[in-house]
Structure 1
Amino acid sequence: MSTDPIGAVKRELLVRQLDSWVPAALHRARRATFAQAYPGADGGAADAALRVFGEFADLLRGRRMTALTLGRAGDQDLAARHAAAQSELPAGLAAHLMPGGVDRLPVALRAAAANGAPVFAYLDGTGGPEPGAEVLTAVAGGRPAELLLVLDPPVWSGADHRRRLAGAGLPLVTEVELVADARAEVLVFATAAGKRLDAFKNALWAADEYAGVRYRDPGDPEGHLLDISLSPHPGPLRRELLARLASVGAASVTELRQFTAERTVYRAADTNRVLTALLAAGLVSREPEAGRLGGDVTITATPPG
């Protein structure tokens, strides 16, 4: 298993997201598909993901879950770990190891008849080509679908990845940089379900603190590095909310919470904490002026001077 701290954070986030996705998917449908693809070494993530399913033997009874793992052809270490994990899997889960990388995902999902049922895909695209439109479309064929994608920065060579993901059917998108020393990788999460976006954000900040790994919000112009914490430093969110209000003039608390969830690394629930501080500092105003800071309250940037 990899001792790489960024790899450890990725592995934990994958496991945490699966922990919330499996019961949600199986309560919704009688079949579902999990797919993971690694063009290079998986760092122990592939078999760690499979072992999550052992916790849901009762939910799997009478249902059909397929787990697809795509990895380098001839990777004997991955094959051995996959076989060991497979031997411990509960009934109702079919696990398959196939040669290939991210580009082979559409073929794998078609073979698994994944279309039309819940799909969660984890694609580690570091060191490899950018995922093509056919890959995104294949994942989005799930009902519902969600994608956790790892890329080398800059994301998609500066392309508008939000537009590409929304066009494929995954309109709710957020991203975070994992930074250790001078190295960084970008996690992009995309879904069509607000509750699943919230689940990812909760997993992001509940992860264990690994030595030397911090988060960076790609939308923060100052590039402030954030420690992994259940109560993250609010500085970048403060700057981004003020910039948003300067751009649009005024917005409801609900709109600002949605902005936070999609356009920053923070949770929607962090919005009210920061808005309360901004109101106390006189940097923004609210209408109505008193009462609970509910979703229908309008927040307006205070003019300078």
Structure 2
Amino acid sequence: MAVPKEVTWLRDPHTAAKHDLLKKYLDAWAPILLSRHEMATYAEGFAGPGVYKAGEPGSPVIAHGVFADALLRHPKHLRMFLMEKDARRVQELRRQMARAQARQTEHVNQRLNIHIDEGEFHPALLERLRTSGALDQPLFVLLDSYGGPDIPYSLLKDLAAHDRVEVMVTFVPGFLMRFAAKHEGRRQQGDIAFGGQDWQAVFKQPSTEKFTFLRDQYRGCLQRAGFTHTLYFEMVDEGGRRLYLIFGTKNDKGLEKMKDAMWNVDPNHGVRYRDPKDPNQQQLDLDWDPDTAALRRILRDHVIDSPEGVTIAELQRFALLETVYRPAQVIRSVRQLRDANAVATDTTRVTGKTLVLPPRDDPPTSSPAEQDGLW
């Protein structure tokens, strides 16, 4: 979206879905961390005014409500660092956060500290996090920009240097595709965001492949920065407009919880996902028990590329790290593939583990262990 000129603006379907996702993830993130640590921190680089034109809460207010509830159960400490460069929005954000605090008890307000700063988010936010010691504690950073290449690669690298930092970045390829081809300044912005010029090969890609190419380049950018686990998925609204949310972490549990949150997003927001690894690019309805045809295609291709066989545990980890699906959806998908003779399975007597193999020429048979549902 273009940078709004008014203090507040209408919330679009993308934003509603992102906020729903954020809330559901923080609902899991905060209690887990507060049960293990004395302090956790949440930060935003594009905090906005904290409210939308029709009165819906912005992400800082949503996060504050989640943290307040978590602190009632886990009396530890949380901090929020919020950056916004528009002075009018800073004023409104302070008003909204004061209202949020007024709804909470003194106990919560003593343990939930809010810091609102006016100015460009970089490098001010990083310096704020560094001097406060937040980089050495559990930290979630939301970088929900307006869609341009606003997040420097150097910032991602600085954040990823710390093991307990997670980020969620909004990436909109359309900006670079529209403006960078003919505008050197925009290309330079892209170089800063990607940490190099490899992304510029997008201009040589077929028009149908440009979005996918930039998406893969940006995911690689987060991985090069140091986020070993990245979850990226496409959001498509009713008008066909696309953006990508890129989540970066070094923690398996964080990745799993983000997927749980993703599949719980309210479908009424009019947004659906597509798994980037699915060659058919099937749109996925937001449902806790969705159509897994795309997952079956992805698993089948992965097994065919692994002629020595893949264990169920390895397929579940593959699904966790490489797809939008959850590990719990793998077992049923493998059974369906086996029943359709798209893969074969074999349980070894030595380890008791089931190997999933490329399909055999002869009809599939199940071992007693498989029939008993041990895997």
- If the TM-score is normalised by the length of the shorter chain, which range does it land in? 0.7 to 0.9
Find the aligned partners of 1:57 and 1:174 in 2 and give their Cα distance.
28
Residue 169 of structure 1 corresponds to 226
User: How far has the Cα of 1:298 moved from its partner?
Assistant: 1.1
Give the secondary structure class of the aligned counterpart of 2:35.
helix
Residue 68 of structure 1 corresponds to 81
Find the aligned partners of 1:280 and 1:240 in 2 and give their Cα distance.
17
Name the amino acid aligned to 1:285: A
Give the secondary structure class of the aligned counterpart of 2:276.
coil
User: How far has the Cα of 1:34 moved from its partner?
Assistant: 0.8
Give the secondary structure class of the aligned counterpart of 2:28.
helix
Residue 157 of structure 2 corresponds to 137
Give the secondary structure class of the aligned counterpart of 1:115.
helix
Aligned counterparts, 1:34-113, within 5 A: 34-38=42-46, 44-59=58-73, 61=75, 63-74=76-87, 75=89, 76-88=91-103, 90=108, 91-100=110-119, 103-104=122-123, 105-113=125-133
Aligned counterparts, 1:198-217, within 5 A: 198-217=256-275
Give the secondary structure class of the aligned counterpart of 1:210.
helix
Give the secondary structure class of the aligned counterpart of 1:17.
helix
Q: Which has the larger radius of gyration?
A: 2
CA contact (8 A) 2:83 2:119 kept: yes
Residue 300 of structure 2 corresponds to 242
Q: Does 1:276 align with 2:335?
A: yes
User: How far has the Cα of 1:162 moved from its partner?
Assistant: 4.3
Find the aligned partners of 1:101 and 1:155 in 2 and give their Cα distance.
30
- When residues 93 and 141 of structure 1 are mapped into structure 2, their CA distance, relative to the original with a 3 A threshold, is farther
Residue 32 of structure 1 corresponds to 40
Number of aligned residue pairs: 300
User: How far has the Cα of 1:158 moved from its partner?
Assistant: 5.0
Answer 1 or 2: which has greater helix percent: 2
Residue 301 of structure 1 corresponds to 358
Q: Give 5+ residue unaligned stretches, structure 2.
A: 1-8, 53-57, 174-210, 363-375
Find the aligned partners of 1:80 and 1:101 in 2 and give their Cα distance.
20
Find the aligned partners of 1:140 and 1:132 in 2 and give their Cα distance.
13
User: How far has the Cα of 1:146 moved from its partner?
Assistant: 1.8
Find the aligned partners of 1:155 and 1:125 in 2 and give their Cα distance.
20
Find the aligned partners of 1:226 and 1:92 in 2 and give their Cα distance.
40
Find the aligned partners of 1:211 and 1:3 in 2 and give their Cα distance.
11
User: How far has the Cα of 1:194 moved from its partner?
Assistant: 1.1
User: How far has the Cα of 1:161 moved from its partner?
Assistant: 3.8
Name the amino acid aligned to 2:117: M
- When residues 168 and 25 of structure 1 are mapped into structure 2, their CA distance, relative to the original with a 3 A threshold, is farther
CA contact (8 A) 2:273 2:283 kept: yes
- When residues 2 and 254 of structure 1 are mapped into structure 2, their CA distance, relative to the original with a 3 A threshold, is farther
CA contact (8 A) 2:49 2:92 kept: no
How high is the TM-score relative to the length of structure 1?
0.88
Find the aligned partners of 1:110 and 1:156 in 2 and give their Cα distance.
34
Residue 147 of structure 2 corresponds to 127
How high is the TM-score relative to the length of structure 2?
0.73
Instruction: Provide, for residues 110-169 of structure 1, a one-character-per-residue CA deviation record: whole Å limited to 9, x for no partner.
Output: 132112211111211342325223322343354422222221134893564444433443
Find the aligned partners of 2:244 and 2:36 in 1 and give their Cα distance.
30
Answer 1 or 2: which has greater strand percent: 1
Relative to structure 2, which stretch is displaced further, 160-169 or 5-14?
160-169
- When residues 299 and 18 of structure 1 are mapped into structure 2, their CA distance, relative to the original with a 3 A threshold, is same
User: How far has the Cα of 1:85 moved from its partner?
Assistant: 2.1
Find the aligned partners of 1:65 and 1:230 in 2 and give their Cα distance.
30
Find the aligned partners of 1:169 and 1:32 in 2 and give their Cα distance.
21
- When residues 270 and 41 of structure 1 are mapped into structure 2, their CA distance, relative to the original with a 3 A threshold, is farther
Q: Does 1:222 align with 2:222?
A: no
Find the aligned partners of 2:357 and 2:119 in 1 and give their Cα distance.
51
Q: CA RMSD in A?
A: 2.6
Name the amino acid aligned to 1:255: E
Find the aligned partners of 2:346 and 2:119 in 1 and give their Cα distance.
56
User: How far has the Cα of 1:204 moved from its partner?
Assistant: 0.8
Give the secondary structure class of the aligned counterpart of 1:28.
coil
User: How far has the Cα of 1:211 moved from its partner?
Assistant: 4.4
Q: Give 5+ residue unaligned stretches, structure 1.
A: none
Find the aligned partners of 1:134 and 1:208 in 2 and give their Cα distance.
34
